[in-house]
Structure 1
Amino acid sequence: MKRYLILPLLLILSFVRTADAVPPIQEARMDNGLRVLLMEAHNVPMVSMQLSVVAGSRFDAPGKAGTASLLADMLGDHTARHNHRAWADLLDADAIHLGAGADRDGLSLSLTTLKEALKPGLDAFAEALLMPGWDKKRFTIIQQDSIAAARKDLEDPGAQAATAAATLLFGNHPYGHRTGGTATSLAAISIPDLKTLYRQQIKPEGAVLAVSGDITMAELLPLLKARLSGWRGKPEHSLMDIATAPPVAGKSVDVQLPTSQTLVQLLRQGPARSDAHFFPDFVLNHILGGGGFASRLMEEVREKRGLVYGVYSYFIPLAAPGPFIISLQTKGDQAAQAEAVVRKVMQEMASGGITKAQLQASKDNLSGSFAQRMDSNRERVGLISMIGLYNLPLDYLATWTAHVNAVTLAQVKAQAALYLKPAEWNRVRVGANLDGATGKSSAHSK
């Protein structure tokens, strides 16, 4: 099955409708400890669900980055009862969409189906979860496809920057590698590695099943109990069983690629998912570079100086502090100037250079984007799953706009002073003919 990544909150908040239009999230807990969260949506006769377990790439063994991703691929590809061809035919017969994916913290299994096909859909969902197939030939094909994709990534500036950034920021920490792994690490993985991760972490306690669609909790729970009640156990490691990586500041890594443009990323550790200052951080990032053409970086680097086509910032909140990144791509001979402007904007904001008008414009923009879309069940289950996995309040979506509007100028300035001092950031550059920088590495297409 096609792999997809679990979307971080930063990338999916724009899909949510207005707070007063968000139906309540209902909660139930099965006897095996599985937490079930449901948002009813009866406008279309479909149901989507996403099971998230604490089994992401942070649990990849040393030297075997990509284990969680390969496990997700295998769970979606075939089962102990059905080989991959029979499995595909079974899903196609009832138009069942079954997918699997992994990010740093979690592994997910998802299902989308028409309401009338929910029972066979849940049968397939439970089979994929509880009866994994460990077919050696299919594993070899999936592994080789992943290796080929990783080799192709050697030619991609964004992928190379992400690899370098993970290593620079996190080192030997569990977040210190890309979820998809490298050609070398993927080749080192075997079926026993997948079985170990499955046995240790694919458990109902600590997991969350997010559901959205044309169904009630009274209808849903008997269907789940009939199929998942035999699934038992507690994972060896919980979501919060992870340390914060030591901070890194002022380091630079160059990755040599024969490209006409240079990709520059400035990066540091950002807030964790549970950070008490998440909303001020979120608004700060929107002012800095997360607000598109309304952001300070776009105004200064592109609109005033024409140095880049686009520049943006984002952070990925995880169980422990994740990355905070500013990214731009430009002509090689303009990269140094563009970077200097970015650092100047950062210093101005860190020194308190944020106005009430900028704060209000950011809030208004965020409130407007919040109102645009949460139109599909798949989008809703992504949000609900995030809420459940990270133990956020069930009214999180309903109160999101109020939290944004409550952010004060003093709070934003305080977080800017905390996060935006340029000297505390690191740099990754990808391109050709890069001048001297500490911590150089190189990557070449083959």
Structure 2
Amino acid sequence: MGKLPQSYPPLGSVQPYETEKLVLSNGLSVLLMEDHEVGAVSGTLLAQGGWRMEPEGRPGLSAIAATVQRSGGTLAHPKAKLDARLEDLAAGVEAAAGTNTSSVSFSCLSEDLDEVLSLFGEVTLAPALPQNELALQKALAIDTLARRKDDPGGLAPVELRRRIYGLQSPASVLPTKASIGAISRAEIASFLSRSFRPDGATLGIVGDFDRARIEELLESTLGQAAWPRPDTPLEAMVEVPPPPPREARLVLIDRPGLTQAYVAAGEAGTTLQDADTPALNLLGEVLNGFGGTLFDQLRTREGLAYTVYARFSPEYAFEGIFQAGGQTQSARLAEFITSLRRVIGEAASAPPDNKLLGDAKQAQASSFVFSQASSGSQLGTQLALTQLGLPKDLDFQLREAEQRLTGRDVFDAAARRLHPEEQTVVVVADAGAVRESLRTLGMPIEEISSADLWEDL
């Protein structure tokens, strides 16, 4: 076996694929990206939706609506018939819901585009929403809710988010057995009608298609005749209020019998377009990358962590979250939290050294090259940004801004945005094994049984 290479050529830069914008007769915006090398076509329709369109008291409605929109078949192609035909064509049509959008997507071979685009249009505009399918999906969702506390490692990040935004914030609401059980077919139909409007949606299509033919197909499938533009204005989305003031506190979720402890600590972060976001992205890499400061200090040098992480997650319409945490031995939990807060505090008290900063820039650049290497990935990013009303090249702008930053720039952003001594800390552990050591941290402690967690929502 020959020697492994000791160095590698630098990655090339990412060249943005060109998109063409169309507007159909009903006002639907369409982004087209031709790529004749793939022999296939895919597309996604993003509509104003997601949980920010859910009415009060109905958390989970958007997800159930998306599931039944696809799984229930259409008026012309009931579930079994739709599934069988798509399988025959080796094609797919799916629906989903997120924070700000609901979506329907398709993928197929180029030769099957006419038929699959027609089926895609049916799922979007004429889903059957059968009562038996709704009952099945509600039962499955309720079963999932019953098991959501099975993984102790997943509890701390969810509860941290609720504490950062405030327990009554729309960003903190969780679906419950009652909210899912109360969802009716009429509510789903109303939600989809309010969400899927041509004047509030953007369609992106990428792949091997004929430019003239695709415009004709789209107009017949999704234009004014098939999908009339309503006369009423778009519905306002749920506003997320600013988070409450930071508060140094520790929430201890008691899980008897655990020998390990799970930690999540954090505070409110930034929006995508905040001036500090590029610097914080780099700082996240400095802290979190392989060989980054958290890994180096807490795992390698101090042996405190099985896993350790930190990340900034900016949002579009409201402040995102900075979160750090990991998994440690119960006996060393207080040490872990102390060291975690110390390392985060150091990032806000001195610039990163040149090597750490250079490594972080290289890691971010490499990740960007791989994530945006294909036409499909670039269209997906451009589509999401366009639907949200952001510059379609915002991701390129952020990466370029990151490469221009100095250590001082990163430090200044950290000093403005990181306050480890004022952050909320959520711990999942056997309270009897860790309670006394946690008291040495000098933070107010609120203790909750994991059995009672989220039961009073």
TM-score by length of 2: 0.85
Distance in 1 between residues matched to 2:18 and 2:248, nearest whole Å = 45
Corresponding position of 1:46: 40
Unaligned runs of 5+ in 2: 1-10
Q: How far off is 1:343 after superposition?
A: 0.4
1:176 pairs with 161, 165, 172, which one?
A: 172
Contact 1:309–1:330 at 8 Å: present in 2 too?
A: yes
Report the CA distance shift for 1:30/1:249 in structure 2 as closer, same or farther (over 3 A): farther
Q: 2: distance between equivalents of 1:327 and 1:385? A: 32
Out of 332, 338, 343, the position equivalent to 1:334 is: 332
Matches within 5 A, 1:41-80: 41-77=35-71, 78-80=73-75
1:268 corresponding residue in structure 2: 267
What is residue 210 of structure 1 aligned with on the other side? Answer: 204
Q: Name the stretch that deviates more: 341-350 or 73-82.
A: 73-82
Following superposition, the deviation at residue 148 of structure 1 comes to: 0.8
Return the offset for 1:24.
2.1
Q: For 1:244, what is the secondary structure of its paired residue?
A: coil
Residues 1:361 and 1:122: Cα distance change in structure 2 (over 3 Å): same
Q: Give the residue type in structure 1 aligned to 2:88.
A: A
Change (3 A) 1:43 1:400: farther
1:107, 1:248 → 2: CA distance? 32
The 8 Å contact of residues 372 and 378 in structure 2, kept in 1 or not, is answered as: yes
1:164 to 144, 155, 159: 159
Match of 2:199, SS state, is coil
Q: Decide whether the 8 Å contact of 1:51 with 1:110 is kept in 2.
A: yes
Change (3 A) 1:217 1:346: farther
Cα 1:403/1:212, change in 2 over 3 Å: farther
Taking the TM superposition and a 5 Å limit, the aligned residue runs for 1:23-422 are 23-77=17-71, 78-170=73-165, 171-178=167-174, 181-215=175-209, 217-230=211-224, 231=227, 232-233=229-230, 234-237=233-236, 242-258=240-256, 259-289=258-288, 291=289, 293-318=290-315, 319-374=317-372, 379-422=377-420
Contact 1:19 1:401 in 2 (8 A): no
Distance of 1:418 and 1:216 partners within structure 2: 51
Amino acid across the alignment from 1:253: V
* Worse-superposed segment, 94-103 or 205-214: 205-214
> Could you tell me how far apart the structure 1 residues matched to 2:19 and 2:279 are?
25
Q: Matches of 2:403 and 2:90 in 1, distance apart?
A: 42
Aligned equivalents of 1:88 and 1:418: distance in 2?
A: 52
Q: Provide the secondary structure at the position in 2 that maps to 1:392.
A: coil
Q: 1:399 Cα deviation (Å)?
A: 4.7
Question: Could you say what secondary structure the match of 1:212 adopts?
Answer: strand
Alignment match, 2:451? 444
What secondary structure is seen at the aligned counterpart in 2 of 1:441? strand
CA distance in 2, matches of 1:418, 1:23: 36
Conserved in 2, the CA contact under 8 Å of 1:19 and 1:400?
no
Deviation at 1:351, TM superposition (A): 1.2
Name the CA distance, whole Å, in 2 between partners of 1:216 and 1:439: 62
* SS at structure 2 position matched to 1:175: helix
**Cα distance between partner residues in 2 of 1:217 and 1:257:** 59
Higher relative contact order by CA 8 Å / sep ≥ 6: 1 or 2?
1
Per-residue deviation, 1:218 = 4.1
Of the two, which has the highest radius of gyration?
2
Task: Render the CA deviation track for 1:184-221: whole Å, top value 9, x for unaligned.
Answer: 43223222332332232222223222222223654432
Q: TM-score, normalised by structure 1?
A: 0.87
Query: Identity of counterpart residues, as a percentage?
Result: 26
State the Cα distance separating 1:142 from its structure 2 match.
0.4
Contact 1:47 1:377 in 2 (8 A): no
Quick one: structure 1 residues 185 and 294, their matched pair in 2 at CA, closer, same or farther if it must change by over 3 Å?
Answer: farther
Contact 2:261 2:328 in 1 (8 A): yes
Instruction: Give the root-mean-square deviation of aligned CA atoms.
Output: 2.5
Q: 1:189 to 1:247 in 2, by over 3 A?
A: farther
Deviations 1:405-446 (A, max 9, x none): 122323211210122221232111123225275343332399
Q: Is the 8 A contact 2:385 2:391 kept in 1?
A: yes
Which residue identity lines up with residue 300 of structure 2 in the other structure? E
Once the two structures are superposed, residues 52-79 of structure 1 have per-residue CA deviations (whole angstroms, 9 ceiling, x without a partner) of: 1221112333332111110110111122
Query: Does structure 2 conserve the Cα–Cα contact (< 8 Å) formed by 1:48 and 1:377?
Result: no
1-structure distance, mates of 2:336, 2:282: 23
Distance 1:67 1:227 in 2: 27
| Shift of residue 330, structure 1, vs aligned partner | 1.8
Q: Deviations over 1:226-271 (max 9, x none)?
A: 11113224530259x6543444432332222343321100121111
Unpaired segments of 5 or more residues in structure 1? 1-16
Q: CA deviation at 1:127?
A: 0.6
Following TM superposition, by how much is the alpha carbon of 1:353 offset from its aligned partner in structure 2, in angstroms? 4.1
2:325 and 2:340 in contact (8 A); partners too? no
CA distance in 2, matches of 1:30, 1:18: 37
